Structure 1
């Protein structure tokens, strides 16, 4: 696989992390009643959000790939 395709798949997985974190934040705020499960889901959601932001930053700052 070319470096450009690898960067594409990495950025798509980062967007998937963002989507999962949106769902987990929604669940932890509005649907879950147990405080421990709310905290765990919110912690996972915010962790995924931070990780995906770092990944997207690194992909963008990596610049274009030369094929």
Structure 2
């Protein structure tokens, strides 16, 4: 697998993490009534969002591939 294709798959996985975190934040704010479940889902969602932001940051700063 070429480095460019690997970077593409890493970026897509980071976008998937962002999508999952958006869904989890929605459920944590509007659907769940139990405060413990709300906290756990929000915590996981924010960790995924931070992790995906770091991944995208490093992919962008690593520069173009040849």
Deviations 1:30-51 (A, max 9, x none): 0000000000000000000000
Provide the TM-score with structure 2 as the length reference.
Answer: 0.99
Q: Which residue of 2 aligns with 1:5?
A: 5
Deviations 1:13-33 (A, max 9, x none): 000000000000000000000
RMSD of aligned Cα (Å): 0.3
Number of equivalenced pairs? 66
- Structure 1 runs, 4 residues or longer, greater than 6 Å off: none
Please, which runs of 5 or more residues in structure 1 have no aligned partner?
Answer: none
1:1-67 correspondence runs (5 A): 1-66=1-66
* Equivalent-residue separation in structure 2 for 1:41 and 1:5 (angstroms): 32
Please, which runs of 5 or more residues in structure 2 have no aligned partner?
Answer: none
Provide the TM-score with structure 1 as the length reference.
Answer: 0.97
